[in-house]
Amino acid sequence: MTAPEARAADAGAGACPVCGTPVYEGYAYCEKCGHTLGSPTCTSCGAAAVDAEGYCERCGLRQPTGRDHAEIVLEGGAAAVTDRGLRRSRNEDAVALLAAGRSTVAVVCDGVGSSPRADEASAVAVEAASAALIRGLSHEEAFELAGRAVTKLATSVHDAPASTYVAAVVRDGRISLAWAGDTRAYWLPAGLPDGGLLTVDDAIETGEITAWLGADAGDVRPHVRVFEPQGPGLLLVCSDGLWRYLDGHPLPAPGDPQALARELLRHALDSGGQDNITIALIPLGELP
Q: Please tell me whether the overall predicted TM-score, pTM, comes out greater than 0.85 for this model.
A: no
Read off the DSSP letter of residue 61: P
What's residue 44's pLDDT? Answer: 64
Per-residue pLDDT of the chain (288 residues; tens, 9 = 90+): 454 444 434 444 588 877 878 887 777 778 778 777 777 777 668 788 778 667 788 877 666 667 899 999 999 899 999 999 999 989 999 999 999 999 999 999 999 999 999 999 999 999 999 999 999 999 999 999 999 999 999 999 899 999 999 999 999 999 999 999 999 999 999 876 667 999 999 999 998 999 999 999 999 999 999 999 989 999 999 999 999 999 778 888 888 999 999 999 999 999 999 999 999 999 998 876
- Residue 37 CB partners (closer than 8 Å, separation 6+): 16, 23, 27, 28, 29, 30, 48
3-state SS, 20-35, equals CCECCCCCCECCCCCC
The Cβ of residue 197 has, within 10 Å, a number of other Cβ atoms equal to 15
Question: What's the confidence (pLDDT) of residue 21?
Answer: 83
Cα distance between residue 38 and residue 46, in whole Å: 13
Give the pLDDT score at 57: 80
Q: Which residues of 266-278 are buried (b: 16+ CB within 10 A; e: fewer)?
A: ebbbeeebebbbb
Q: What is the pLDDT of residue 10?
A: 43
At the topology level of CATH, where does 69-284 sit?
A: Phosphatase 2c; domain 1 (3.60.40)
Domain boundaries, the chain: 1-63, 69-284
Element holding 143 (H helix, E strand): helix 139-151
Among candidates 147, 164, 250, which has minimal Cα distance to 207?
Answer: 164
